[in-house]
Structures are given as structure tokens and as C-alpha cells.
């Protein structure tokens, strides 16, 4: 089910379909409903809920996905009307996909963090919540209701997760060669999910990272050495992709990962230029970068999947619009050497200011 406004309806519906597929589902029916004045307790009007129920009944859907965040009351009320079917909202769907793809202990903890934050305002006190999150048996404090106890235990668990995530982050930094002390430059791949960040990392370094057409394939950050000319090198990190309305719970949960992006010397903002709405993707990515204080970092716009476009998009117009830009095909390897040269130039500029002619060495040789 689509949300308002109707302007970007096709983009949102196509993306919702991809999200459902990434969560292992199949879309059997779509319905676009205009919500002019959202009803605070049901979001939709009663006639709209009936239409939704009938459509779900007709195609025998197991789950109804609503493409916006529902508050707990709206969710319960819609569920009551549309009997026998699970209703999930966009936020829960994205958290579920993250849960499927998290593989490291850190990633799993981050997803649990997001799920707990999502559940906190949705607790009913019926006692099902803690069993879903794997909590142990606790005792109720004096005068504490079941609901208060569940809330307290979730908050305690969030606090414990935060400490564990911090500890793991420190270990990760140590493992990655005490980068700050050695002054090796850090380059981060950022971009909309499925833009081709992991494919680019593989082409650059032969990293063998999993890439797929599914959204949010990569969650755990992966760092590799990127060899540049004259024996120079940088550390390049592939990280979680962004999306329109990335749930705030996930931004909070992935804060340690995103903090690493904010510490980069250079960002490669990877764009799938073969998407008709790639400009919207760039806007979304720039917004998230702003939220994590990474929007002032030097950026090269890497327009990827150039093998899929005709000649209507020129590098000149992209450069005019976005600044430092390059057209590449990470899959076919075109433009990659040129991109490496651009990276070296940018890093030298950052280290030596504009006077780079006498400093053709970046950080020593390997
Ligand atoms: N035609 C074409 N396809 C590409 C290119 N680069 C990546 N792809 C495809 O695009 C899809 C997504 O690529 P990934 O590298 O997994 O994208 P990602 O940005 O890492 O995505 P997430 O980790 O899911 O956020 C895969 O099916 C790739 O094969 C390219 O240059 N040309
Ligand atoms: Mg990836």
C-alpha cells in the first residue's frame, strides 16, 4: 500500500516491491490510497480500510505491508479490521531485511538495537515481547506493572548493547592497523542501496564481497587496502546502503558504523545512473550524510552502471551539477583506473593543500 503524496508514487511502489522481495516475500497485489487527512487512530478512512481488506482477501495475502510508519494504535486498529492478516509497516519491513542480512556479531547487535527501539512504544504489556527478543526471565519490581517491567528490561538491554557495540568498535579499529596513528587515508563508499558499492570494492581490490540485486546486501562494514599509483595506498570501506526514509531506529542503531563514515578523508558517492530517478537517490544520500555530519567531506560522485545507459547523460552535465564526477562501470571495469587517479589527486590535495606538484607521494610507499 502506497503513502501520500502521490507525486513519487511509481518510485515508492517499485522500491517497496524490491524491499518485500529482499525480505523473501512476493507481491501479489498493490493498492494506492490517497491519505488527505490522516486519521490519527487508523491512518486510513473506514472505506479505505474496507478496500484494503477486500483486496487482501481476494488475493489471499498473508501479510499487508503499509509503506509508511504506523503508530502502535494505527497498527492495532487496522489489524482489528483486517482480520487474520499480519500488518507490517515500512520501518518493520526494513528492520526485518537488516535482520536477515546481518552476519557479524556487531551487525546482529545493531539490528537488535533497532528492533528494540521500534518495539518500545509498541509494548502492550501482554508479555509476548521479551520472548521475541530473546530476553531471560526477570522479576517484577515492587509496584511495577508488567508493561513497566518490559519497558525497563528493554531499556536495560539497549544500554548493554550500546556498551558491547562500543567495545567491538574499539577492537575493530585496533584490528584494522591503528589507522589514525599511521595516518593512512580513509576512503568510504557511500550511496543508495544497490548502487554498486560492493561491486566497486571488488573491482578495486578483488575483495570477493557479496553483491546482489537485492536491497541491503551489505550491512557489516568491510575495509580493504586500495593500491594507488607510485606505491601509495588508502583504506577503503564498503558500508551499509541508504534509502528514502531510512528508519531513525536504524540510523541510531548503526551510529558506530556511520561515525566511521564521518571520519573519512574522502567519500565516493556511488550512484546507479541507469535509474531514471537517480537524482532523487542523490538527494536522499546527501540528506543522510547531513544527518551524520559527513556532508562537508570531500566527495567524488561515481556514476556507476554506465554500461546500461545511452548517450543522453554526459559527464560534463554531471560535473556541472555535482562537481567532481566520473562515469564508470564497476561490473565491466571501465573508468576504474581514472577513478583511482582522481582519488589520489583528492587525497594529495587534502594532505598538501593546493601545492601538490612537489609532493607526488602521499603517505609513504608499501
Ligand atoms: N550493469 C551493471 N550492473 C552493476 C554494476 N555495478 C553493480 N551492478 C549490479 O547491481 C547490483 C547491486 O550491486 P551491489 O554491488 O551489491 O550494490 P551495493 O551498493 O553494494 O548494494 P547494498 O549492499 O545492497 O546496499 C548487483 O546485481 C550488481 O551486479 C555495473 O557497473 N553495471
Ligand atoms: Mg553492498
Q: Which listed CATH number (3.40.50.11060, 3.40.710.10, 2.60.40.10, 3.40.640.10) goes with 6-95? A: 3.40.50.11060
Q: Is 116 exposed, middle or buried (0-12, 13-18, 19+ CB in 10 A)?
A: buried
Nearest ligand for residue 213 CA: 1
CA of 210 relative to ligand 2 center, distance in Å: 7
Q: CA nearest 270: which of 352, 187, 350, 206?
A: 187
- Cβ(222)–Cβ(238) under 8 Å? yes
**Do strands 63-66 and 86-89 pair parallel, antiparallel, or not at all (unpaired)?**
parallel
Q: CA nearest 238: which of 265, 263, 264, 220?
A: 220
**Is 183-352 CATH 3.40.50.300?**
yes
CA of 240 relative to ligand 2 center, distance in Å: 7
- Nearest residue (by CA) to ligand 1, atom 30, is 305
Q: CA nearest 318: which of 295, 335, 340?
A: 335
CA of 291 relative to ligand 2 center, distance in Å: 21
Q: 192 forms bridges with which residues in the sheet?
A: 242
Distance between CA 348 and CA 187 in Å, rounded?
Answer: 13
- Nearest residue (by CA) to ligand 1, atom 3, is 305
Pocket of ligand 1 (CB under 6 A): 191, 193-199, 211-213, 215-218, 241, 304-305, 307-308, 329-331
Q: Which of 21, 190, 196, 207 to mutate to test the pocket of ligand 1 (most atoms within 8 A of CB)?
A: 196
Distance between CA 98 and CA 108 in Å, rounded?
Answer: 9
Nearest ligand for residue 285 CA: 1
- Nearest residue (by CA) to ligand 1, atom 32, is 305
pLDDT at 128: 41
Report the nearest atom of ligand 1 relative to the CA of 215.
Answer: 24
Q: Which of 188, 191, 199, 330 to mutate to test the pocket of ligand 1 (most atoms within 8 A of CB)?
A: 199
Name the strand (E) or helix (H) holding 101: helix 90-101
Collect all residues with Cβ–Cβ distance below 8 Å to 194 and sequence separation of at least 6.
18, 213, 214, 215, 217, 241, 272
In this structure, what is the dihedral angle of CA atoms 146, 148, 151, 152, given to the nearest 10 degrees? -110
CA distances from 241 to 25, 94, 261, 281 (A): 21, 12, 12, 11
Residue 327, CB-side half-sphere exposure with 13 Å CA sphere: 16
Nearest ligand for residue 200 CA: 1
Q: Which portions of the chain are predicted below pLDDT 50?
A: 2-7, 127-138, 355-358, 365-366
CA of 210 relative to ligand 1 center, distance in Å: 10
pLDDT at 188: 97
Residue with cell 556479531: 105
Nearest ligand for residue 22 CA: 1
CA of 330 relative to ligand 2 center, distance in Å: 12
Distance between CA 171 and CA 272 in Å, rounded?
Answer: 34
CA of 287 relative to ligand 1 center, distance in Å: 22
pLDDT at 66: 93
Chain mean position to CA 248: 11
pLDDT at 72: 86
CA distances from 179 to 6, 115, 235, 342 (A): 47, 32, 9, 22
- Nearest residue (by CA) to ligand 1, atom 27, is 213
CA of 274 relative to ligand 2 center, distance in Å: 17
- Cβ(188)–Cβ(200) under 8 Å? no
CA of 64 relative to ligand 2 center, distance in Å: 28
pLDDT at 168: 84
Amino acid at each position: 500500500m502506497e503513502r501520500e503524496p502521490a507525486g513519487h508514487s511509481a518510485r515508492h511502489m517499485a522500491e517497496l516491491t524490491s524491499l518485500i522481495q529482499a525480505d523473501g516475500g512476493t507481491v501479489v497485489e498493490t493498492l494506492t490510497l490517497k491519505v488527505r487527512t490522516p486519521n490519527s487512530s487508523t491512518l486510513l478512512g473506514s472505506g479505505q480500510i474496507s478496500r484494503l481488506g477486500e483486496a487482501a482477501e481476494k488475493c489471499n495475502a498473508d501479510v499487508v505491508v503499509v509503506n509508511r510508519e504506523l503508530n502502535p494504535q494505527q497498527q492495532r486498529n487496522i489489524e482489528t479490521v483486517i482480520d487474520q492478516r499480519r500488518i507490517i509497516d515500512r520501518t518493520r519491513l526494513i528492520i526485518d531485511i537488516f535482520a536477515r542480512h546481518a552476519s557479524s556479531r556487531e551487525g546482529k547487535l545493531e539490528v537488535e538495537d533497532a528492533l528494540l527501539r521500534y518495539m518500545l512504544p509498541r509494548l502492550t504489556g501482554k508479555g509476548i515481547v521479551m520472548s521475541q527478543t530473546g530476553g531471560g526471565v526477570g522479576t517484577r519490581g515492587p509496584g511495577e506493572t508488567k508493561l513497566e517491567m518490559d519497558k525497563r528490561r528493554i531499556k536495560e538491554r539497549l544500554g548493554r548493547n550500546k556498551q558491547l557495540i562500543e567495545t567491538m568498535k574499539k577492537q575493530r579499529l585496533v584490528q584494522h592497523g591503528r589507522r589514525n596513528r599511521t595516518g593512512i587515508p580513509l576512503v568510504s563508499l557511500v550511496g543508495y542501496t544497490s548502487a554498486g558499492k560492493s561491486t566497486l570494492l571488488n573491482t578495486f581490490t578483488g575483495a570477493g564481497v557479496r553483491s546482489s540485486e537485492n536491497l541491503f546486501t551489505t550491512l557489516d562494514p568491510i575495509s580493504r587496502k586500495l593500491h594507488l599509483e607510485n606505491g601509495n595506498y588508502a583504506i577503503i570501506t564498503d558500508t551499509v546502503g541508504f534509502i528514502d526514509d531510512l528508519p531513525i531506529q536504524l540510523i541510531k542503531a548503526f551510529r558506530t558504523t556511520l561515525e566511521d563514515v564521518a571520519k573519512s578523508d574522502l567519500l565516493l558517492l556511488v550512484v546507479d545512473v541507469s535509474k531514471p530517478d537517480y537524482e532523487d537517490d542523490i538527494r536522499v544520500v546527501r540528506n543522510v550524510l547531513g544527518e551524520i555530519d559527513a556532508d562537508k567531506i570531500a566527495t567524488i560522485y561515481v556514476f556507476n552502471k554506465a554500461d546500461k545507459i545511452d548517450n543522453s547523460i554526459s559527464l560534463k552535465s554531471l560535473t556541472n551539477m555535482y562537481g567532481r564526477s566520473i562515469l564508470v562501470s564497476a561490473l565491466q571495469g571501465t573508468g576504474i583506473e581514472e577513478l583511482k587517479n582522481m582519488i589520489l589527486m583528492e587525497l594529495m590535495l587534502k594532505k598538501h593543500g593546493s601545492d601538490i606538484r612537489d609532493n607526488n607521494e602521499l603517505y609513504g610507499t608499501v
